[in-house]
Chain A
Amino acid sequence: MMRLLIDLWEGVKIAFQALRANKMRSLLTTLGIVIGITTVIMIHSIIMGLNAAFYTSISALGSDTLYIGKFSWMSRTDWIEARNRKDITLKREGNAIKEYATLVKAVAPTVSAQRTVKYESEKLNDVNIIGTNEEYAITSNVEPEYGRMLSKQDVDHRRNVCVIGWEVADKVFKNKNPLGRNLSIGSYPFRVIGILEKRGNLLGHNLDNEIIIPLGIFQKQYGARRWVTIEVKVIDPALIEEAKDEITGILRRVRKVEPHQENDFAINQQDMIADMYKRLTTALYAFAFGVGSIALIVGGIGIMNILLVSVTERTKEIGIRKAIGARNKDILLQFLIESLVVTAFGGIVGIIAGFVFAKIIAASTFLSATVSPVSVAIGIIFIFIVGTFFGLFPAYKAAKLDPIEALRYE
């Protein structure tokens, strides 16, 4: 054990000596490894960053909310076929779910449109106007920062009231308190009763650029023939599959779907987006792994090549060491360590460079990057694999040298 430690330490010292003696060569040799590790770390950091951003983003959807509409979020359904489906309506589907479904705690039909909103001289274009009911607060998990949400009375009496998103409040009302003021939405006046908390983005869609108004007034002012999405909150996230089955049954019945026919509606949920995203990033991972592997193999071959040169150059040294008692495995270990030191040097530079590049890319594009211990671990594992694998052949060659031949070598 003691001997192995001394061997290892000696190996490290010899390796550094050899590297110092051939600075330029070592630097060039290690470049391949630097590029390989940089690529792997950089892409891994970016994927980690994307993941973090993505999951934060879709968390706004809520894992226990179902979105019922004509269109599936999965792209596989035929769009034209889906467009010709019977509309989802508030009266038929909305009421049926409310009446018969036992596993839901809130049902909110929603319709939406883009409108320009105005207050005094301030204007904001393309604000997402959502017509819904009082249960929307539950299904979409939003709370007012100031004021209140829509009440049942607001909805039943089709009052001209609205709850505005954070950004609308900020941009249209500036420093004034919006509560109680009249906002003009597509030329109809609405009194502001609440301001939503800041919510951020959902897959690039700005959730703060939003106004919620009672469904009835929405249909009256902006037309009734719109695609309705019914948002349903399940009583318990664990029962989401059962709830889907129950709702499927109810909808098939009210929409008179024959037993042999497929569903002519879609029940969407957060998972579907996550699945799709996972499939996408798996491909990205595979690509990154491929690029990184190729760079590392090229780098590893470079290291093997330079080590073979080094073994030849130091044949005499190997002979001397063997003459004074170095065993084959001592020599093997010495060159393996040298390989690992070169690789580790390149690897550490690569890890740092990878993080730096990832951060630069994150800062200059829409991508984000997360520096994680996992990335470092991946880097270190690669270093060990490459260093050992490509060092083995030269080290074996050195270990097997005949001491007499080696001593005679000039």
Chain B
Amino acid sequence: MLIKLEDIKKIYQVGAEMVGALQGISLNIEENEYLAIMGPSGSGKSTLMNILGCLDTPTSGSYKFTSELVSEMDDDQLAEIRNRQIGFVFQTFNLLPRATAIHNVELPLIYNGTPSSKRKKIASDALERVGLADRMNHRPNELSGGQRQRVAIARALVNNPKIILADEPTGNLDTRTGEEIMEIFEQLHEQGNTIILVTHEEYIAEHTNRIIRLRDGKIERDESI
């Protein structure tokens, strides 16, 4: 078992009111799964994604990642998990605008103390894998949307994470470019990676093998295709 969520609840205080963004989510994810989390806005999918990505901790419930209990971790331990075990791909790419493609990809390696010479090699390999070997020294504003998202994917891959978490990865791309990105995810899945997509587009979710639909902070349906 790679991920085991048990009765995860997340409650926010908005003014005097308590809002339950997640109201008891239990979920198992195996290694090398390719799944999509879907749901309308307000369904809690972003919150679930943040908890799965160790950016946030649940109010109650337990989250086990491999054998580690994430729900009890402090800030630094969470940072460590994010660094080594999780690769993020965001809708808005979230690259550092002033850094070159290769430097952006190197960033996660900097934060686990990989020496500079090794970093360059690993980062350029990762960029090659996403087909950007010839764009390494370009800055984000010199790249197209699709290319930027590939840089982001290379960055997500660079520490050989256990899971890749992609939040609407095609949301800012045209259909054709979106398909190209989805092809990369498919390849990564075939190579043995575990991929979790968050999306509200049915045709994107159809690429995956399992779709989890959320509504009002609960799992409405969990279906394998």
B224 within 8 A of A: no
- Using Cβ atoms and an 8 Å threshold, which residues of chain B touch A403? 55
A319 to B94, CA, bound (A): 9
**Is A21 within 8 A of B98, CB to CB?**
yes
Known contacts A323-B82, A323-B94; is-contact A328 B76 (Cβ 8 Å): yes
**Is A325 within 8 A of B94, CB to CB?**
no
Q: How far is the CB of A321 from chain B (nearest CB, A)?
A: 7
A17 to B97, CA, bound (A): 11
Q: How far is the CB of A174 from chain B (nearest CB, A)?
A: 74
- Using Cβ atoms and an 8 Å threshold, which residues of chain A touch B75? 327-328
A356 within 8 A of B: no
**Is B96 within 8 A of A317, CB to CB?**
yes
**Is B108 within 8 A of A320, CB to CB?**
no
How many B residues have CB within 8 A of the partner chain?
29
- Using Cβ atoms and an 8 Å threshold, which residues of chain B touch A320? 94-96
**Is A6 within 8 A of B116, CB to CB?**
yes
A7 to B82, CA, bound (A): 17
**Is A324 within 8 A of B82, CB to CB?**
yes
Partner of B107, one of A3, A21, A321, A327: A321
**CB under 8 Å from chain B, chain A span 330-387:** 330
- Using Cβ atoms and an 8 Å threshold, which residues of chain A touch B111? 321, 324-327, 330
B113 within 8 A of A: yes
Q: Which residue of A lies closest to B93 (CB)?
A: A320
- Using Cβ atoms and an 8 Å threshold, which residues of chain B touch A330? 79, 111
**Is B110 within 8 A of A10, CB to CB?**
yes
Known contacts A21-B98, A320-B96; is-contact A325 B79 (Cβ 8 Å): yes
A323 to B80, CA, bound (A): 10
Partner of A322, one of B50, B79, B90, B110: B79
Q: Which residue of B lies closest to A321 (CB)?
A: B107
- Using Cβ atoms and an 8 Å threshold, which residues of chain A touch B15? none
- Using Cβ atoms and an 8 Å threshold, which residues of chain A touch B80? 325, 327
**Is B76 within 8 A of A327, CB to CB?**
yes
Partner of B88, one of A3, A17, A21, A323: A323
Q: Which residue of A lies closest to B167 (CB)?
A: A407
- Using Cβ atoms and an 8 Å threshold, which residues of chain A touch B99? 17
Contact with A along B78-119 (1 / 0, CB 8 A): 011011100010100011101100000001101111111000
B155 within 8 A of A: yes
A313 to B29, CA, bound (A): 38
A80 within 8 A of B: no
**CB under 8 Å from chain B, chain A span 106-159:** none
Q: How far is the CB of A13 from chain B (nearest CB, A)?
A: 9
Known contacts A320-B96, A323-B94, A327-B79; is-contact A404 B112 (Cβ 8 Å): no
**CB under 8 Å from chain B, chain A span 1-50:** 2-3, 6-7, 10, 17, 21
A319 to B116, CA, bound (A): 23
- List 28 A-B pairs, Cβ < 8 Å: A6-B113, A6-B114, A7-B110, A17-B98, A21-B98, A316-B94, A317-B96, A319-B94, A320-B94, A320-B95, A320-B96, A321-B111, A323-B88, A324-B82, A324-B88, A324-B107, A325-B79, A325-B108, A325-B112, A325-B159, A327-B76, A327-B79, A327-B80, A328-B79, A330-B111, A404-B50, A404-B55, A407-B90
Contacts A323-B94, A325-B83, A325-B159 aside, 15 further interface pairs with beta carbons under 8 A come to: A6-B116, A10-B110, A17-B99, A21-B98, A320-B95, A320-B96, A321-B107, A322-B79, A324-B88, A325-B82, A327-B75, A327-B79, A327-B80, A328-B76, A407-B55
Chain B residues close to A by CB (< 8 Å): 50, 53, 55-56, 75-76, 79-80, 82-84, 88, 90, 94-96, 98-99, 107-108, 110-116, 155, 159
Closest 5 CB pairs of A and B: A325-B83, A3-B113, A325-B111, A327-B79, A324-B108
Chain A residues close to B by CB (< 8 Å): 2-3, 6-7, 10, 17, 21, 316-317, 319-330, 403-404, 407
